[in-house]
Amino acid sequence: MTTRAQHGIFKPRQLFNLHTSTSPVISPLPTNPINALQDHNWKMAMKDEYDALIENKTWDLVPRPTNANVIRSLWIFRHKKKSDGSFERYKARLVGNGSNQQTGVDCGETFSPVVKPATIRTVLSIAISKSWCLHQLDVKNAFLHGNINETVYMHQPPGFRDPQHPDYVCLLKKSLYGLKQAPRAWYQRFAEFVATLGFSHSVCDHSLFIYHYGNDTAYILLYVDDIILTASSDTLRQSIMSKLNSEFAMKDLGPLSYFLGISVIRHSGGIFLSQHKYAEEIIERAAMSSCKPVSTPVDTKAKLSGISGNPYHDPSEYRSLAGALQYLTFTRPDIAYAVQQVCLFMHDPRTQHMTALKRIIRYLKGTITHGLHISPSLVDTLTTYTDADWGGCPDTRRSTSGYCVYLGDNLVSWSAKRQPTLSRSSAEAEYRGVANVVAESCWLRNLLLELQCPVTKATIVYCDNVSAVYLSGNPIQHQRTKHIEMDIHFVREKVAKGQVRVLHVPSRYQIADIFTKGLPLQLFDDFRDSLNIRQPPVSTTGVY
């Protein structure tokens, strides 16, 4: 018998699919500029960055002054990704080493505001309710537009030294990433320009810029170099974008779809905010991709103690994961309480704390596609829920208070926080919670007034403690409440002005319970649904 091998016919070692293309190999992140310059992709990214700096006239080359403080220049490399997590391009950024700067010498004021999460959700709610377009812009090399008032010297970029003056240093004329004052310089530059267009910054949130003239209204949300623009008409929006682009190098990213790591899906019923890609990264970072999901992020047992159990062997890992989970609460209020609890022990994490943290990740594994839904709704009413446990911390006996605030039907603000002082009764703990949510609602009322959406009705505050409700509206005073007089007078003043009404709600319907304690599954599911935490919409029919 004749075999195939005798005829020189062999089974191929690999089967090829002629219908699929091979993806290009992505160059790994370089460890230093020398390695980067040896790779064509990274070399071109560095050249693009350097050419942009030269075109912007970011510095002058000068002889190094005697005794001058000269900071280092560094290259930072990263793979820039699209909203779906796929590779987009190579990004090389030249930065100044701000840690070498000296206050009063080459560095002055450094504070720069960023837009608050509650402001973002409020503006999104208004835009959706009014059927306005939401647009996304990115400022190319934003910090290079800022002007600096201090004299700052920097070493020439590694790999790009001037061959005729290799010993010269860069005298910065413009701001640069990495400088301590860079965010402040960029913010001031942007705020000054949009003021010439008729915008004014909000008193409640300085990173919100408001334009209102006649029937035309527009809002700009600024988070460092990322911009959300919404306007009452496409003509107004396009006019503003054109003027911004004439002053800054802007990248038009189109309708809002991905902002600060948050996926935005617009559909016929509103918009859906999700951080599922970020949640997947957290799960992978924790090496828990194969973990078994759980139905709630925290159990119903007693709260965690900081003094029992053995120290966790890797505190840095614990802090990294806890910090990552904190950012995830931007769109996941259902884990706010659980994350607040594990973050209390970042200074000295124990094994039981890591177990609690892993439970949150196991919960995320089973609800990874969930996100915050914002729907068209009336924007003239504020409704709040507030709750507090009493002496829940086993170590300090301090209480945890939590609240949530709805603008119409949309959740725009929430909090889970341990109270800074001891409460001597449950009424006191609850009343401090009432004062906290009244303060937040007053801020939101002022914000909405600036946004030309005034709330004319009293804010409803739901509390499940009868004594706290009674204290808010009746001028009683005795020894047991003297030490919380400031909170009492603050709330009563708002009640007397008709801005707030504090009403009783049965504990079964107290949504804020989800921010103060672990709950049974059925109650947790009910309250999570009330927070508008849902799965993504099945269809995106009606997207723009």
Nearest in space to 94 (alpha carbons), one of 70, 69, 71, 77:
77
Residue 539: per-residue pLDDT: 57
Burial annotation 27-64 (CB, 10 A radius, 16+ → b, else e): beebeebeebbebebbbebbeebbeebeeeebbeeeee
Q: What does the block give as tokens for 234?
A: 């496409």
Residue 482 is predicted with a pLDDT of: 52
Whose structure tokens read 């409700």? 469
Confidence at 137, pLDDT banded by 50, 70, 90 = very high
Tokens representing residue 280 in the block: 């997947």
Note the pLDDT of residue 23: 57
Q: What percent of the chain has pLDDT over 90?
A: 70
Cβ–Cβ < 8 Å for 154, 96: yes
Domains by residue range for the chain, with CATH:
33-260 (no CATH), 377-505 (3.30.420.10)
Predicted pLDDT at 515: 96
103: confidence class by pLDDT, cuts 50, 70, 90: confident
Contact 281, 323 (CB under 8 A): no
SS3 195: helix
CA distances from 395 to 301, 306, 307, 315 (A): 15, 7, 8, 21
Read off the pLDDT band of 476 (50, 70, 90): low
Residue 105 confidence class, pLDDT cut points 50, 70, 90: confident
274-288, 357-371, 396-410, 419-433: segment of lowest average pLDDT: 419-433
CB 157 within 8 A of CB 75: yes
- Average pLDDT, stretch 462-471? 90
How far CA 83 is from CA of 149, 249, 256, 263, in Å, comes to: 37, 22, 11, 7
Cα→Cα distances 122→42, 229, 319, 400, 405, Å = 41, 14, 30, 26, 11
Residue 484 above 90 pLDDT?
A: no
* pTM exceeds cut of 0.85: yes
- Looking from the CA of 537 toward its CB, the CA atoms found within 13 Å total 20
Report residue 542's pLDDT band, with 50, 70 and 90 as the boundaries: very low
Q: Check: CB of residue 307 under 8 Å from CB of residue 394.
A: no
Mean pLDDT of the chain: 89
Provide the pLDDT confidence category of residue 475 given band limits of 50, 70 and 90.
low
Beta bridge partners of residue 301, listed in sequence order: none
The whole-angstrom separation of Cα 149 and Cα 522 is: 59
Q: What is the mean pLDDT of residues 396-405?
A: 92
Q: Is the pLDDT of residue 140 over 90?
A: no
Question: How buried is residue 341: exposed, middle or buried, by Cβ count under 10 Å (0-12/13-18/19+)?
Answer: buried
Report how far residue 178's alpha carbon sits from residue 180's, in angstroms, rounded to the nearest whole number: 6
Q: Are 501 and 458 in contact (CB under 8 A)?
A: yes
Closest among 360, 369, 368, 371 to 323, alpha carbons compared: 360
CA–CA separation, 194 and 201 (whole Å):
9
Q: How far apart are the C-alpha atoms of 186 and 114, rounded to whole Å?
A: 12
Could you give phi then psi for residue 245, rounded to 5 degrees? -70, -30
Cβ neighbors of 180 (< 8 A, separation 6 or more) are: 98, 101, 107, 110
User: Which two structure tokens, joined as six digits, stand for 350?
Assistant: 């124990």
Single-letter amino acid, residue 108: G
